[in-house]
Each structure stands twice: as structure tokens, then as C-alpha cells.
Amino acid sequence: MKFLCVDCDRQMTFEERQLPGDGTLAAAFRCPQCGRVVAMLTNPMETQLVASLGVQIGGRTIPAQPMEMVRGMVAGGKEDAFEDGGGHFPTWSDDAQERLARVPGFVRGMVKRIYSEYARDRGITVVTTAVMDAARTELGLEGM
């Protein structure tokens, strides 16, 4: 969607976006030649449709975050569905992942979290089988 100032035959440029909080959106566009300003107002359904596409009218001011739409728009989600590592969450080596996969499914998530937190607390960026062994010894996690 674009706005054209017909008198000037110039495409109007985005000026400002406002989200009043009632599900609607207002976006102002200005003619670069005559200065005339028009506002585009979208109803809640139209606003939601644009948001659902994962785009922002007026352009993005910050890069899209991982699963931004799912994390922001899914209702009835688990409160602890995501664990934000703030960019410091350790990765897992392939052999550590294989070992983790042998942990019974119903406790695997908890076990993974324990090892991850152990590594993060110690500034370890990659969980390896050696890190898992060390954590088991230090934390008394025999059998995990």
C-alpha cells in the first residue's frame, strides 16, 4: 500500500506510527512537495492481519526477534515454553546431544536445563560430554 499526493504526483512518505492501544493503528504520511499530511487508520482486524504477517508499517526499528509472532501472539501458551538465554545460553555438542537423547523423555527437559545452567553459571559456552561428566560429579547427578 502506498499513498500518492495526486496534486503533486509525488509518493507520500511515512511520517509516524501510533498504536492507541485499542487494537487499531494510525500511520501518518506526508507529501514531500506540498507538505500535506494524511493518516491511514486501520481497524483491529486490519491491524491484526498486518501484524500476523510479521511486518511493521513504517519499517522495522529493531531486527525481528526469534519466533516474534509466536511468542507475542499465541494465547494459552505455556508460561515456561521458552527460556531466554539472553544470548549466553550454551550450545550442545553433537555427542552431548546424543547422550541427552538417551535420558528418558519425561525428565529430559529438566536434565537439559540443569546442565545448561551449570554451564552458563561457569561461563561455559558449549556443553560437551566432558562438561556433563563434570556437572554430574559436582552436582551429584549420577544416572543423569
Residues 6 or more apart whose CB falls under 8 angstroms from that of 129 comprise 93, 95, 96, 99
For residue 19, state whether it binds another protein (rule: CB under 8 A). no
* C-beta of residue 26 within 8 angstroms of C-beta of residue 18: yes
Of residues 45 through 104, those in contact with another protein by CB under 8 A are 45, 48-49, 51-60, 64, 66-70, 72-85, 87, 89, 91-92, 94, 97-98, 100-101, 104
For residue 125, state whether it binds another protein (rule: CB under 8 A). no
Q: What is residue 63's DSSP assignment?
A: P
Which residue of 19, 109, 130, 138 would you call a contact of another protein, by CB under 8 A?
109
For residue 38, state whether it binds another protein (rule: CB under 8 A). no
Residues 6 or more apart whose CB falls under 8 angstroms from that of 7 comprise 34, 36
For residue 10, state whether it binds another protein (rule: CB under 8 A). yes
